[in-house]
Structure 1
Amino acid sequence: MTTGYRPLVFAHRGGADALPEHTLGAYLRALEEGADGLECDVRLTRDGHLVCVHDRGLKRTSNGKGLVSRRTLAELERLDFGSWHPGYPADEELPDLSRLLTLERLLEAVLGCGRPVKLLIETKHPSVYGAEVERRLIKLLRRYGLADPKPDDPVQVTVMSFAALALRRIRAKTPAIPTVYLLELLPPGVGKGKLPFGSRIAGPGVELVRNRPGLLPAMRAAGHRTYVWTVNEPADLELVLRNRVDGVISDRPKFVLDHLARLSS
């Protein structure tokens, strides 16, 4: 690894390999282990609350059924979001590892942790609520003083999405917030370094990086930063480090941090 180069390390869904994803306990552990930042997905409940849940449905990560968008916050808070995961400690009552996490609770935890944190927030689309997802997000960020970031602010928010229109809405209302255009496939022109609606950060999946070896160099040549997800395996980590990515998003942030520490020793 080039001397002086060290990418940011983000805990994907809080570090979903070790502990139940999108739980407060997972995020706090990632911060304790030294992650530079956290990544979360947000969806709107039926009564307008932003909650940290990846899937449209509840079945995979809770003991509930149906769609997140059709439940109220009170209904979702009665569900168990942790005991399905193999990393959940048996026979212990651990609300931080089983309780639904709202974005508001995550913001409060990050602001209160006493150290710099970079928070990546992905708005999930398509959504039955459309642009309301971004409107609610902007309103919440403004309430916590995070919508107009200054360079020395300890908590820095970046908004990500696969939906270019979602990023356009963020740029229109909060132009100071950086945006990441997430990529699983390559839309026309993007492979040559073009990103939509003022985005300056590309967010390709690691499989796309493997299949398109010219993508990261093209982004760097165009002046864009790159955050790659979800980098969990040694070979993939070595690949993105060779390409000098700016951010590594991983379910295994401690694995990434330990690897970087060995390289710098």
Structure 2
Amino acid sequence: MDTLFYAHRGSSQKFAENTRAAYLQAIDEGADGIECDVHLSSDGVVICHHDPTVDRTSDTTGEVAGFTLDELKKMDFSSYMPVAVPEEYGSISDQLLSLVELLELIDERGTNIGLAIEIKHPSPYGHLLEEETLKVLAGFNFDPQTGLAGRRSQIQVTLMSFEPDSIRFLAQTVNRALLCQLMTEIDPRRVADFLSEGETIRAGVYEVMRRSVAEGRELINAGGAGIIGPGVAWVRANEHLVRQWLEQGLTARIWTVDRPADAQYLIDMGVTQITSNRPAALRQELDQE
């Protein structure tokens, strides 16, 4: 059984996550796929970035949705990791990418590769985020039935979210086999704690993740998504259910898997897609065992 290794936010153990360098490293190392996260900027551009704010990964603070693309481009999204970016991977100002730029980068490389796009919610723009993402993909010949995109149809696109409403919205136009319902277990007290501390943005994110399990299971069981996307800890705690879904013919894409023992456990179970911060090294370690 062949296992596909997806680079989590690019090869993010080597370079800053969701940057040009991390994506190019993933391609050059031979990753089977790249995982990226998307938000909308204030001028309506689909941006590759994980958090709803730029605080953790840049030299600035504020919500992604509050900045234009040009303003985001002026920020430093690399220096939080103490590693030099090779000249061929671009300068500091080149590191933040729009989804258009990421697709152009992949298309220029010409490599057959998967692209797993995570739609980040809650978004102040609601389903406009999905609409704009689909518009970008349409500009790269995206086929919503097969998921193929790019000049040579060499990019295999799938769409993911923790938010079941996002998956339902996408299913109106995209083949459900291409949709991944992400899942993780969140203690509801964490949501309450964030709210009590005034951290409404984090509370909103955690509330979506909290709902991902109960509502996500219902959506999956109703045939609303062809790919299940729980974290590896959730898989271990719910192995019977995951095996049941695999027996039903669903694809499993499990995150974030960096330890060989976890990867081997998943492969032995029949999982065919693994998302890792270190996909090339993980594959090599498994091959040596």
Q: TM-score, normalised by structure 2?
A: 0.82
Counterpart among 115, 119, 125 of residue 119 in structure 1: 115
Contact 1:203 1:227 in 2 (8 A): yes
The secondary structure found in structure 2 opposite 1:112 is helix
**Where does 1:80-229 land on structure 2 (aligned, <5 Å)?**
80-89=76-85, 94-95=90-91, 99-148=95-144, 149=146, 153-175=153-175, 178-185=178-185, 186-187=213-214, 190=217, 194-195=220-221, 198-229=224-255
Matches of 1:9 and 1:97, distance apart in 2? 29
Counterpart position of 2:204: none
Aligned CA-pair RMSD: 2.5
Counterpart position of 1:251: 277
Matches of 2:253 and 2:86, distance apart in 1? 35
Over 3 Å counting, the alpha-carbon distance change for 1:96 and 1:237 in structure 2 is: farther
Over 3 Å counting, the alpha-carbon distance change for 1:52 and 1:235 in structure 2 is: same
Over 3 Å counting, the alpha-carbon distance change for 1:227 and 1:127 in structure 2 is: same
Counterpart position of 1:52: 48
Contact 1:42 1:103 in 2 (8 A): yes
Over 3 Å counting, the alpha-carbon distance change for 1:220 and 1:57 in structure 2 is: same
The secondary structure found in structure 1 opposite 2:246 is helix
**Higher mean Cα deviation, 51-60 or 88-97?**
88-97
2:265 aligned with 1:236, yes or no?
A: no
Contact 1:164 1:197 in 2 (8 A): no
- What is the CA-CA distance between 1:188 and the residue it aligns to? 6.1
Matches of 1:109 and 1:232, distance apart in 2? 26
Matches of 1:181 and 1:94, distance apart in 2? 33
Matches of 1:168 and 1:93, distance apart in 2? 37
Aligned residue pairs total 258
Matches of 2:109 and 2:30, distance apart in 1? 12
Contact 2:11 2:23 in 1 (8 A): yes
Deviation string, structure 1 residues 102-156 (Cα, Å, up to 9, x no partner): 1111001111212201100000001111100000011111111014347783111
Letter paired with 2:6: F
- What is the CA-CA distance between 1:90 and the residue it aligns to? 10
Task: Give the structure with the higher percent helix.
Answer: 2
Gaps of 5+ in 1: none
- What is the CA-CA distance between 1:85 and the residue it aligns to? 0.8
Deviation string, structure 1 residues 25-84 (Cα, Å, up to 9, x no partner): 111111111100000000000110011110111111110101101111111110000011
The secondary structure found in structure 2 opposite 1:172 is coil
Gaps of 5+ in 2: 186-212
Matches of 1:65 and 1:90, distance apart in 2? 26
Letter paired with 1:169: F
Matches of 1:71 and 1:223, distance apart in 2? 42
Q: Percent of pairs identical after alignment?
A: 34
Matches of 1:170 and 1:63, distance apart in 2? 34
Matches of 2:163 and 2:221, distance apart in 1? 12
Matches of 2:229 and 2:103, distance apart in 1? 22
Over 3 Å counting, the alpha-carbon distance change for 1:188 and 1:42 in structure 2 is: closer
Q: TM-score, normalised by structure 1?
A: 0.89
Contact 1:25 1:97 in 2 (8 A): no
Matches of 1:154 and 1:238, distance apart in 2? 28
